[in-house]
Structure 1
C-alpha cells in the first residue's frame, strides 16, 4: 500500500472514531447534566448551586444560586453538540418578585418561605396557572412561571398555605427587568 493511501485511511478511521465518541457522549450524557455543566463553566467561583432545570423542547432554563447572595436564570438552546448559552440574569437574592425577560422566555419568580404550599398565577387575559415550587439541594425555595408566547406583565400571583388559605397576593410589574441590572446577552 502507498503512503498516501495509509495516511488517508488513518485519517478516515480517526474521523469515524471521533464522530463515534462525540455521538456516544451526547447520547449518554443527559441534557440536565450538560446544562448544569454549562452553568458551572460560566462561573469560576463561587460555583453555582442548581435549584432547577426546566427543558422546553429545544430551549432550557437553569435556575441557580451563587454563594455570594445572587440568584440567576440562564437560558440555553439545544444544538447538535449540546446546549448553547443564549442569555442570563442574576440578581441579589431577595423575597421580592421578579419579572424577567430573556431572549426566548419571559419568567416571573419569587423566593418563598416554607409555609407556602401552592402558587397560582393569573395573567391579564384571565387565564390561571399553577406555578411549581422548586428547591435545589443547597438553594432556597422559589416558585416560577415562564412562557415564550404569553404576556406576563401585570400578572397576579397568589400564594396559599397547605389548608388553601390565601397568604399573599402580588401584582407583577408592567415592564420586565424593572429594577434589575445584571442581564447578560
Structure 2
C-alpha cells in the first residue's frame, strides 16, 4: 500500500493560501477519480482507494502544518505502510512559483511540516513533491507570505503545477519513483 499526503492547514481561512498547495493536489486527485475524503481517527481527512489494482491512502492532515507528523504516523502505522511508500506534497519557497521537483528523500529544508513528519516517522526516507511558491519580493514576513493567497497573475502557473504534481502521483502508482523523477524533473 502507498500513501500520498498533501500538506496544508485546515479551515476555509487557509484554503487558497500558498501553504496549502499540497491540499490542492490531493483535492485534484480526489476530483479526477471521483473519490471522497472523510474525517477520521488519523487527525486528518483521508480515503483508501484502489488504482490499477493497488491500494492507496490519500491524506490531508488536519493538525496544522507544523504538526503534520501527528497525522501521517498514525495512518502509516495503522495500515503498516513503509515510509519509503509515503509521498508528501508541499510548498517550497526556494522554487519559483509553479515549478515542480520530485525527490527520493532528504532533509526538511526549514519546512516545519516536513520536519514534523521526519520526527514522527524517525526517517528522512520518504518521497517528496515540492511545488514552488517563490519568495516574497517585498519585506513581507515569510509567515505572512506563505499564509497569503496566490495573486491572480500566477493562477495559470499554480494550476499547471497542481496538474503536474497530480500526474506525477498517478505515475508513481504505475512505475518506480526514480522513473517518475526522471520524467517530471526535466
TM-score, scaled to structure 2: 0.30
Question: Which structure features the higher share of strand residues?
Answer: 1
Ranked by relative contact order (alpha carbons within 8 Å, sequence separation 6 or more), the top structure is: 2
Question: Which structure features the higher share of helix residues?
Answer: 2
TM-score, scaled to structure 1: 0.30
